[in-house]
Amino acid sequence: MTDTTIPLDGDASAPSRWSTSTWLAVVSMAAATFALVSAEFLPAGLLTPMAADLGISEGTAGQVVTATASVGAVAALFANSAIGKLNRKTVLVGLSALAIASNILAAMATDFWLLLLGRAGLGIALSGFWSLSASVVARLVGVNSLGRGMSIIFVGVSLATIAAPSIGALLSDWIGWRTAMAATAGAAAIAMLLQLVSLPSLPAGEGTRLGDVFRLMGRRGVQLGMLAVLLLVTGHFAGFVYVRPFLEQVTQLPATAVAWALLGYGVASVIGNIAGGRMADTNIRAALATTGTTLGIAALALVLWGSHTGAAFGFVALWGFAFGTAPIVLQTNLSRAALDALEASGSLMVVCFQLAIAMGAVVGGYIVDGLSVAGPLTLAAILSALTLVLAVLQPRS
């Protein structure tokens, strides 16, 4: 497979059966997704011990998510123009190497600023990968199989939501948050090896200029897609980054029980990932409405009844299902509005996603430090519900 060259434009016809080499290439992309998203989501399970070790508040510790997202948003704007004519396989392998180095630096950080520097490097790796993901998958499996291919890629996201918060919480309680952070470097190394072995050569085309990215923003479908990302993802991360303090202080769960609750979130997100792919292919308006409504209900229900252990476990799992549907619904929605410019639309997707993560983490941090641990979840419910308006405005498909 490594000697094969795939041209810039993937086969538009969707093959009825993928070859073994195609499967391996797509799986290598899913492995990279797992490694990158595990590192991105990890602070949700490490927040309490990380804050205590570094001598900072939990709201301040939550800004490691902001650092990753802020740098990622800026990097995404320039990602496609910066990589220019570089072979996309070379770029993807390099991004995995950057993720390894960033995670090691974060694990070894002796103060908050070194931790932020490590997380900033992760932001660059994330933005570069996601900017290229849709176009690379389309070239591997064909444009007509983009939804199927992206569903497999997002399995990595779902598995990461299982592994990162829950296992991270357990590891931080048993052997420290730094070991949990270092484990993500190992996952990135495995992904890099898989990419080296299985990805074909992916030569660049003419490249994407920054002006091309901005011109896409004139399309109504792209505008609605970007707004959906901003609302839904801001709401999610405003609440989810601080879900461990909520479960500890309101539900009064010990660290082990928090880990089990987050495991339930992750398992439910895998189910949501499968459901989201099917919903997006069937009716994107219904998919947006279902995702926003379900996430909003889960967040609000936690605020109202989260003091009860059973309710907390159930609604955290419902939240996991809702956000499991979100990435593939949002990505497919935006990609459909720009099938002729997948790399450029991928950049816009990353910019919006990372800006939303940063805004959610910042606002949630202020609320949790200045108001209550339930405040960020209320904001998550409100912003998630607003996606219903976008679902109504979305063109029928």
Of 261, 270, 383, 373, the closest CA to residue 317 belongs to 261
Q: What pLDDT was estimated at residue 8? A: 47
At 50, list the tokens. Answer: 């990380």
Of 275, 393, 283, the closest CA to residue 328 belongs to 275
Give me the average pLDDT of each 10-residue run along the chain (397 residues). Answer: 46 57 89 89 76 79 75 75 82 94 89 86 87 82 72 80 69 78 89 93 70 76 87 90 86 86 84 80 82 92 92 94 86 75 76 82 82 88 85 66
pTM exceeding the 0.75 threshold for the entire prediction: no
**d(Cα 247, Cα 214) in Å, to the nearest integer?**
41
Q: What pLDDT was estimated at residue 346? A: 75
**d(Cα 84, Cα 269) in Å, to the nearest integer?**
35
Q: What pLDDT was estimated at residue 57? A: 79
The secondary structure of 196-229 as a DSSP string is HHHPPB----S---HHHHHHHTTSHHHHHHHHHH
- Tens-place pLDDT, residues 59-69: 777 777 777 77
CA angle 347, 348, 349 (to 5 degrees): 90
Of 202, 183, 197, 196, the closest CA to residue 99 belongs to 183
Q: What pLDDT was estimated at residue 130? A: 83
Q: What pLDDT was estimated at residue 12? A: 43
- Tens-place pLDDT, residues 132-147: 887 888 888 876 676 6
Handedness of CA 147, 150, 154, 156 (dihedral sign): positive
At 326, list the tokens. Answer: 């979100």
Q: What pLDDT was estimated at residue 188? A: 93
Handedness of CA 45, 185, 276, 217 (dihedral sign): positive
* Torsions phi, psi for 5 (to 5 deg): -115, 125
Q: What pLDDT was estimated at residue 117? A: 87
